[in-house]
Amino acid sequence: RTVYLNGDYLPETEAKISIFDRGFLMADGVYEVTSVLDGKLIDFGGHCVRLARSLSELEMQNPHSDAEWLAIHRELVAKNAITDGMVYLQVTRGNPGDRDFAYPSEDVTPTVVLFTQNKPGLADNPVAKVGFKVISIPDIRWGRRDIKTVQLLYPSMGKMAAKKAGVDDSWFVEEGVVTEGTSNNAYIVKGNKIITRALSSDILHGITRAAVLRFAVEAQMEVEERAFSIAEAQAADEAFITSASAFVMPVVEIDGASVGTGKPGHIVARLREIYLDEMRKAAV
Ligand code: PLP
């Protein structure tokens, strides 16, 4: 695989980073994951806007313009001959040459890493026909979940808890209501209404969430942005998650209880179809 590191395209075995990089020592960095379908980038503008916001919240300079980011993404997709897959981008605060809690001075240059993952048939994932099963676990993450940092240990623990329970993912619960999934936003459907938690620092501002809610309104569905409990989700007609890599994925079981018929519902199927159609059209 060819990867990108600080301006160079290199074989992955030749890409080397300092042990003093703050991404390594302090999880001091942010990331984005952009899907590639038919060789094109999905919702690239959305990723650029969020990347800029994450960097600014952490008082880091954005090392590239959106046009430069696009050129790097395209070059990597081409070099790795990706038709369907992902581009992972990470910017860390870089290597100050020693370990210190305080941020280094601004002349320390950020470390920029990008790599691709090949996922043939990404949009035809057969799991979308079956749906996810999830369990709930307490949300004990930090309070700035709106910043897409590389500090992903608790989400990893959530995935492991799901794996051990024989299900697909975990939903985080705080103060009796769902915040989001380990790496996705969470929704329920009641009649014609889509219900999902409102944006705040309690959740990541999913760019798939923004697009799906826009398409839902355009398709004459109702959208209500409020929190819901596990009990309310178990009693809903349908449930689903969204993320840039899973797109729109039905959730058919929560803590052992079937949602609706226990099969993916028609509203979720429709949203997935609209999302994929529209985003393919807008891909760059
Ligand atoms: N919530 C969390 C915690 C995530 O990690 C992610 C994606 O990685 C999402 C939500 C979904 O965001 P997006 O739709 O931008 O991929």
Q: Give the distance (Å) from ligand 1 centre to CA of residue 245.
A: 9
103 with 93: CB under 8 angstroms?
A: yes
ipTM for the whole predicted complex goes beyond 0.95: yes
How many Cβ atoms sit within 10 Å of the Cβ of residue 223? Answer: 14
20 with 95: CB under 8 angstroms?
A: yes
Does ligand 1 lie within 6 Å of residue 34's CB atom? no
167 with 134: CB under 8 angstroms?
A: yes
Same-domain check for residues 142 and 11? no
* 122, 142, 157 - which closes a domain: 122
Residues spanned by the domain of 103: 2-122
Per-residue pLDDT tens, the chain, 284 aa: give them: 999 999 999 999 999 999 999 999 999 999 999 999 999 999 999 999 999 999 999 999 999 999 999 999 999 999 999 999 999 999 999 999 999 999 999 889 999 999 999 999 999 999 999 999 999 999 999 999 999 999 999 999 999 999 999 999 999 999 999 999 999 999 999 999 999 999 999 999 999 999 999 999 999 999 999 999 999 999 999 999 999 999 999 999 999 999 999 999 999 999 999 999 999 999 99
Same-domain check for residues 249 and 275? yes
CATH number at 106 reads: 3.30.470.10
90 with 234: CB under 8 angstroms?
A: no
* 57, 92, 122 - which closes a domain: 122
For residue 267 the two structure tokens come to 């509203």
Q: Ligand 1: which atom is nearest the Cα of residue 245?
A: 16
CATH number at 237 reads: 3.20.10.10
Rounded-to-integer distance, Cα 74 and Cα 77, Å: 5
Rounded-to-integer distance, Cα 178 and Cα 197, Å: 8
H or E stretch covering 85: strand 85-92
Q: Give the distance (Å) from ligand 1 centre to CA of residue 204.
A: 6
148 is a catalytic site residue:
yes
Same-domain check for residues 242 and 132? yes
| From 129, 148, 163, 281, the catalytic residue | 148
Q: Give the distance (Å) from ligand 1 centre to CA of residue 266.
A: 23
Q: What is the DSSP letter of 197?
A: P
Helix intervals (H) in 109-152: 127-130
* pLDDT of amino acid 106: 86
Same-domain check for residues 80 and 197? no
- Residue of the CA atom closest to atom 1 of ligand 1: 184
H or E stretch covering 120: none
233 with 265: CB under 8 angstroms?
A: no
Does ligand 1 lie within 6 Å of residue 206's CB atom? yes
Which of 50, 183, 200, 271 most suits a substitution to test ligand 1, by most atoms within 8 Å of the C-beta?
183
Same-domain check for residues 118 and 137? no
Question: How many helices (H) and strands (E) are present in the chain, helices listed first?
Answer: 8, 15
Does ligand 1 lie within 6 Å of residue 250's CB atom? no
Does ligand 1 lie within 6 Å of residue 208's CB atom? yes
Same-domain check for residues 161 and 110? no
Does ligand 1 lie within 6 Å of residue 35's CB atom? no
Same-domain check for residues 131 and 113? no
The total number of structural domains that make up the chain: 2
- Residue of the CA atom closest to atom 10 of ligand 1: 184
For helices 266-281 and 207-218, give the axis angle rounded to 10 degrees: 110
Q: Which amino acid is at 161?
A: A
Same-domain check for residues 265 and 152? yes
Q: Ligand 1: which atom is nearest the Cα of residue 244?
A: 16
Same-domain check for residues 191 and 114? no
Q: What share of the chain is helix, strand, coil (3-state, %, to 5)?
A: 30, 30, 40
Q: Ligand 1: which atom is nearest the Cα of residue 207?
A: 15
Rounded-to-integer distance, Cα 161 and Cα 158, Å: 5
The predicted model scores a pTM of: 0.97
Which of 204, 247, 272 most suits a substitution to test ligand 1, by most atoms within 8 Å of the C-beta?
204
